[in-house]
Amino acid sequence: MRVLLRLVSTIIFFTPILMQAKEVSPGILRTPDSRFENLPDYDFDPHYEDIQGYRVHYIDEGPRDGEVVLMLHGEPSWAYLYRKMIPVFVEAGFRAIAPDLIGFGRSDKPTSMDTHTYQFHVDTQAALVEALDLTGVTFIGQDWGGLIGLRVVAENEERFSRVAIANTGLPNPQTDKAPEGAFGNWKRMNQRMVEAGDIPTGAMIANSVGDPSLKEAYDAPFPDPSYKAGPLIMPQRVPLVRTDAGAVENSAAWEVFRRWEKPFLTSFSDGDPITRGGYIFFQRQIPGAQGQPHTTINDAGHFLQEQKGEEWAETVVEFMRANPQ
């Protein structure tokens, strides 16, 4: 009887988790739509595209014939991060598109961390751009959104007309010794999360921004840790030495950007310890960055879209209007 009671208790305890898990094919989970209901300031209709067998979600607002603004989020966020910026672009007459990376947001979630390579995310986002047949695109990226998106831009340059980035980078390692500093500390902290099998997605962003109310929205895509393979492993995928996966491809992307003459804008925030000063290399190396009104977004940390989203969006709108296609 005692064994039976223990079994029943175990089933009752795990039932809420098991009921939320939705495996759409072996090793691929899909977050229930109910998790995204009634999120603050988020009333965008979902759009989906099948990419390499995964259902990829994207926000698509504004006129179909408007100039396209493509916004890519990073880790561990999702397209919710751009909810304050999207209305600014739509009001300006642009078509605002914000996808969820595979493994994030409303997109499907492979449960194996092995799936989440740098190249996988570059390839699948490039495939989405092609599937939607986007041209004349102004790319906006932050965090991993920049690492992935800048590769997509460099490898599909004919589809892009401008670039605007903040709090991101495109690592081009030239040594065999990994750099120390803030990112090295974060990578070691993240490795402990990988070993523990969980990452506090909502708390990380809410604490970083100083707004506890955000926790629910950034936890919404992940009913339990089995959904978190992407957010968990992505920090370990940043190429830091020449032998890391992605280093060769990033070097090739930099060859494109060193001759890139299309408009290129940096708007890094003043309170991000990881990417502080990262704009300098872009400004010095990219021809299209010369003479542009680069700016610093004051009183904002890493997730500047939360703290100064409207300001960054207005900056990009002015940049686009000053650099017409």
pLDDT in tens, 137-175: 999 999 999 999 999 999 999 999 999 999 999 999 998
Domains of the chain: 2-171+178-322 (3.40.50.1820)
Confidence (pLDDT) at 40? 95
- Per-residue pLDDT, 147: 98
From CA 88, how far away is CA 101, in angstroms rounded?
22
- Residue 9's pLDDT band (boundaries 50, 70, 90)? very low
Q: Is residue 236 scored above 90 in pLDDT? A: yes
Query: How many beta carbons lie within 10 A of that of residue 306, not counting itself?
Result: 23
Active site residues: 143, 272, 302
pLDDT of residue 21: 61
DSSP per residue, 151-194: HHHHHTGGGEEEEEEES-------SSS---SHHHHHHHHHHHHH
Unique residue bearing structure tokens 């990219």: 286
Q: What is the pTM of this model?
A: 0.92
Tell me the per-residue pLDDT of 194-214, one tens digit each, with 9 for 90 and over: 999 999 999 999 999 999 999
